[in-house]
Structure 1
Amino acid sequence: MRTYFQEMLKRKDLLYYLVKSGLKADNRNSYLGYFWWLLDPLLNVLVYYFLLKIVLNRGEEEPFAVFLVIGLVAWRWAQTTINSSAKSIMKHGSIINQVYLPKSIFPISVAFTQMVNFSFGLIIVATFLAFFGVMPGWQVVYIPLIILTQLVFLLSIGMLLAYVTVFVRDIDHLLTHLTRVLFYASPIIWAGGRLKGQEIEIGSNVITLDFLVDYNPIAIIVESYRNVLMYQTNPDFLGLLNVFAISFLLFYVMIYFYSKNEHKIIKAL
């Protein structure tokens, strides 16, 4: 495994190139070019604001636009990373079959590429905070901690999906539906407190919906962003610690797994 890590370090220039080329590919041949890094999250927020606040008259959380933009920008990083990571190894199949490369570098590059995109989304968040007069408190210093937790979480999930998808191609088709379910099951466009204490009946069993917030890593991360940026309170330290620890363990396991089994990828491709 140490040899595998050393090989990854030798390829740090490739990682930088993949991140750079991934950023360029997102807006290639578009008239607005890199302006889409700002325009895309902004339009996404406007669409959901129109649907929820104006059409459905939902969104009691005030200011709802700020509440919405924080959730959607954080979710956008997760969704794009999950979907792109699953295809990352297959996308570079021609390179993999010609030159030996640590295969884990491809899903890793996706997570970092989308983190750069996320940083531009934070500019939109800051704009909304300023426009609606929401001033974050000193707790804003915890933002790097939340970002690091989300990065490690997405790295671990991305590496798992990238490997599995090579052998089970149906995963790529299912992800669109699974991420949609995760989106609506997470407090992206609704407040997590709404589900506290609510129950559903499945046959003779009664299930509380608290787990959708308490044990949902996306929920923990999004709510932590809102606590820091919107409510001037501390993030969910215990929740973030659990997400980070489990994600880091999975990331370590996946690195070990890649080092022992990634030769099988070439055969599958």
Structure 2
Amino acid sequence: MTILDAAAQSKTMTRAWGDLRDGFNKRELWLHLGWQDIKQRYRRSVLGPFWITIATGTMAVALGGLYSKLFKLELSEHLPYVTLGLIIWNLINAAIIEGADVFVANEGLIKQLPTPLSVHVYRLVWRQVLLFAHNIIIFVIIAIIFPQHWTWASLAFIPALALIVANCVWVALVFGILATRYRDISPLLFSLVQLLFYMTPIIWNDATLRQQGAEGWAKIIEFNPLLHYVDIVRAPLLGADQELRHWIVVLVCTTVGWICAAFAMRQYRARVPYWV
């Protein structure tokens, strides 16, 4: 078999999906590595990963309190809104920013340990899910202080969160491969995500725009897909009505994203070890 034949055989959808499947089957490995990442990061720390919880909670209280005063919003409504927005945003933000460096950061393992590439992505996403679980404690505390009107429909946040986690996987795969080949992608994404943070209703809401007479901006911001991702988890936890348009946009983006991920894995999976 020639080198060209071997390269052609590696560029098949079967091998691409096989990498994702084999990587997922190595759950013991990436579950352990993800947990060790957190333990190592906060080694010799008394509070450990709860420092992130404290930092997120402090920011949520500060921004929620400030913006509720500035725009004359009810603190009991705006503080839970901002808190959930920040917690969900941190999960999405990490998938994009850390996902772009996922293969570069694991250069040693990729070159020395013969494992599917997807293992490193699962490890990253699992680590962020653990941090999300720590951060959600903030919302639980705030929900005790400012009780929410939950119904059975509020359980919709469970499939919504699962959908976001599935999106985190394809985002890390696609941007990880691109940023490994083109190192300018990572700083570009960092700048873009910072811009999107202010264009996503996290520390402000529709009422804020209406107060400022900016209905036109509200229509433009609808084209920001992150708005829809945040809302499918936040709305049910706040006891608000679900809007079908958010689910439609997220499902379409999920489908397109996984198609892109499958193509990227098929075409460039075998090149990543050489690019790192």
- The AA in structure 1 aligned to 2:275 is A
**CA shift digits 1:30-85 (9 cap, x unpaired):** 3321332532321221232354345xx23525522112111111111111222111
Contiguous gaps of at least 5 residues in structure 2? 1-13
Match of 2:56 among 29, 35, 41: 41
2:221 counterpart of 1:212: yes
Aligned-pair identity (%): 18
- The 5 Å alignment of 1:108-119 reads 108-119=122-133
TM-score (norm 1): 0.84
Deviation at 1:252, TM superposition (A): 4.5
Task: Describe the shift of the 1:194–1:65 C-alpha distance in structure 2 as closer, same or farther (beyond 3 A).
Answer: closer
Task: Describe the shift of the 1:176–1:261 C-alpha distance in structure 2 as closer, same or farther (beyond 3 A).
Answer: closer
Specify the alignment match of 1:143 in structure 2: 157
- The AA in structure 2 aligned to 1:254 is A
> How far apart, in 2, do the equivalents of 1:252 and 1:12 lie?
23
> How far apart, in 1, do the equivalents of 2:169 and 2:72 lie?
32
Match of 1:233 among 217, 233, 240: 240
Contact 2:99 2:172 in 1 (8 A): yes
Contact 2:24 2:122 in 1 (8 A): no
> How far apart, in 1, do the equivalents of 2:262 and 2:34 lie?
19
Match of 1:23 among 31, 38, 42: 38
Give secondary structure in 2 for the equivalent of 1:97: helix
- The AA in structure 1 aligned to 2:71 is R
Contact 1:159 1:251 in 2 (8 A): no
More divergent stretch after superposition (97-106 vs 232-241): 232-241
Match of 1:173 among 181, 187, 209: 187
Task: Describe the shift of the 1:253–1:223 C-alpha distance in structure 2 as closer, same or farther (beyond 3 A).
Answer: closer
**CA shift digits 1:173-197 (9 cap, x unpaired):** 2232211111000001111355587
2:200 counterpart of 1:158: no
Specify the alignment match of 1:32 in structure 2: 47
TM-score (norm 2): 0.82
Contact 1:67 1:226 in 2 (8 A): yes
Specify the alignment match of 1:7 in structure 2: 22
Specify the alignment match of 1:263 in structure 2: 270
Contact 1:153 1:248 in 2 (8 A): no
> How far apart, in 2, do the equivalents of 1:225 and 1:82 lie?
18
Specify the alignment match of 1:246 in structure 2: 253
Deviation at 1:161, TM superposition (A): 1.0
More helix by share: 2
Deviation at 1:109, TM superposition (A): 2.1
RMSD: 2.4
**CA shift digits 1:181-214 (9 cap, x unpaired):** 1100000111135558733xxxxxxxx651413x
Give secondary structure in 2 for the equivalent of 1:30: coil
Contact 1:146 1:225 in 2 (8 A): yes
More divergent stretch after superposition (115-124 vs 247-256): 247-256
- The 5 Å alignment of 1:183-194 reads 183-192=197-206
Task: Describe the shift of the 1:132–1:9 C-alpha distance in structure 2 as closer, same or farther (beyond 3 A).
Answer: closer
Specify the alignment match of 2:215 in structure 1: 198
Which structure has more relative contact order (CA 8 Å, sep 6+)? It is: 2
> How far apart, in 2, do the equivalents of 1:3 and 1:24 lie?
31
Contiguous gaps of at least 5 residues in structure 1? 200-207
